[in-house]
Chains A and B, each alone.
Chain A
């Protein structure tokens, strides 16, 4: 658990980069810090491992005030991932991943086991990459290694500063999915800086929106989209917030609200089959792309019914607005 209590950062005499920010991040959650550049999100993140000093207020990690700890020890116990991966070009992949265990002087056997485990986790062959150097890897692979390095000493908390920001959209989306899967397994408490609302909705259990150093709103993604607290948040999440919120709901949610249509008789129309796990935004996209008049919905490989645009619309009115 991470707790921010009246945290303020002042540069020089009067520039307030972060202004009296208070909120709590429950254990095992991903909270995305969102906002335009210069809004204070990165500074807030960097105060947690004291890469920036805290001017006023307190930050607690699992109940301990970070200012009461030795800053080197503190950092070794917090995973840290940055945008341009920051892998050390002079070290092999193994030495990069094992950077923190090396600092902590783990024994050889423990290090080798941990390295193998982490590489398997991020989907790279441990032996193939062991003696290679960062420049021999693609951007996506480097970023994966950066994540493995952050998790090396199994820290309960991870800080990620736009970790996928430099990747192209296809790779980014793939790594986001992989990372969510890894998170299912490791259940870290993660602070994640992003400037991309879609990424925040996808990755976050909670989203904290910053502007001018102030915390504008801290809520779950669906709450944030459904009930923006003020004009800034409303504008930042965009005109299409209803549409965006659809990606948080699946066909299953829709079924629990309303019956599906019968899937018979209409088979002569062009049709497309989706599963109940499909999110409603994708379902709507398929319908709007006129790939089909209606979608056939499958659960466990069995046809359970059909849906049309009106169904999504009705769900949206009833549930989200």
Chain B
């Protein structure tokens, strides 16, 4: 009870702070740019979303099958290789990846998407592997023992039971991706980073906030959308409520 009260108070304080910041910035006319240059804003917003959506999509369709592959008994030996490569990728700063992508692919949309894609792989791969590996071996033994084929075990037992960590990995990747995509400006990839960096260079709060706040809201929105998708995808049986006893 006490804990809930504390968390409520903290939430309330944060909410008030955020709201007063909004009120202040709004009153100061910092978002005027969005209205004045609505066309430019929408162009950058779509560009931003496009980058994020494409790179996240590519990361998902590569990382999940990769995670499935390295958890098959046959390919178990490959697991360390994939995980370490992905881990290494994550240790390189996002800016460096962008720079590396640029040396190879030049400037523009492509290197930005490629760098974002690489950066999104690890959280999804790691969670897919961890999710599948954390499944109770008894379940797999039971499934095998009653005559599921390996493909049925994967589709009906492993993936549904690992759905929560996999979705959490996707959520982490997408949210980080939205923030990182602001750096795409540096390789000429466009997106809302254009306004943020312009704002930084010109010390113009109006540009800065008209770029930064939509990016923040986009990240929050994506987080909520993916959480909603989780509720649809993850079986109710995996969300333990009250346990019953005999």
Q: Which residue of B lies closest to A146 (CB)?
A: B142
**Residues in B neighbouring A140, C-beta threshold 8 A:** 246
CB distance from B69 to the nearest CB of A (A): 22
Contacts A49-B145, A80-B146, A103-B152; is A90 near B160 (CB within 8 Å)? yes
Q: B21-29, B82-90, B236-244: which lies at the A interface?
A: B236-244
**Chain A residues, CB < 8 A from B244:** 136-138, 141
Q: Which residues of A contact B156 (CB under 8 A)?
A: 88
CA distance A79 to B241 in the complex (A): 30
Is B147 in contact with A88, judged by CB distance below 8 angstroms?
no
- The reply on A288 being an interface residue by CB < 8 A is no
| Contacting residue for B243 out of A92, A135, A159, CB 8 A | A135
Interface size (A, Cβ < 8 Å)? Answer: 37
Q: Is A148 an interface residue (CB 8 A)?
A: no
- Set A80, A133, A138: member contacting B237, Cβ < 8 A: A133
Whole-angstrom CA separation of A84 from B246 in the bound complex? 16
Residues of A within 8 A of B12 (CB): none
Which of A72, A79, A88, A136 contacts B157, CB < 8 Å? Answer: A88
For window 79-135 of chain A, which residues contact chain B by CB distance below 8 Å?
79-80, 82-92, 99-100, 103, 133-135
How many Cβ-Cβ contacts under 8 Å join chain A to chain B?
88
A75: CB under 8 A from chain B?
yes
Asked if B36 is at the interface of the complex by the 8 Å CB criterion, the answer is no
Is residue A259 contacting chain B, with contact meaning CB distance below 8 A?
A: no
Cα distance A103–B151 in the bound complex, in angstroms? 12
CA distance A240 to B25 in the complex (A): 86
Q: Which residues of A contact B136 (CB under 8 A)?
A: 84, 86
Given the known A-B contacts A90-B237, A139-B246, are A82 and B142 also in contact in the complex, defined by CB atoms under 8 Å? yes
Contact B141 A90 (CB under 8 A): no
Interface of A toward B, CB cutoff 8 Å: 49, 51, 72-77, 79-80, 82-92, 99-100, 103, 133-141, 149-150, 159, 171
Given known contacts A77-B147, A137-B244, what 16 new A-B pairs fall within 8 Å (CB)?
A72-B149, A73-B147, A85-B142, A86-B139, A86-B142, A88-B143, A89-B139, A90-B235, A90-B237, A91-B235, A100-B147, A133-B235, A135-B240, A136-B242, A159-B145, A171-B246
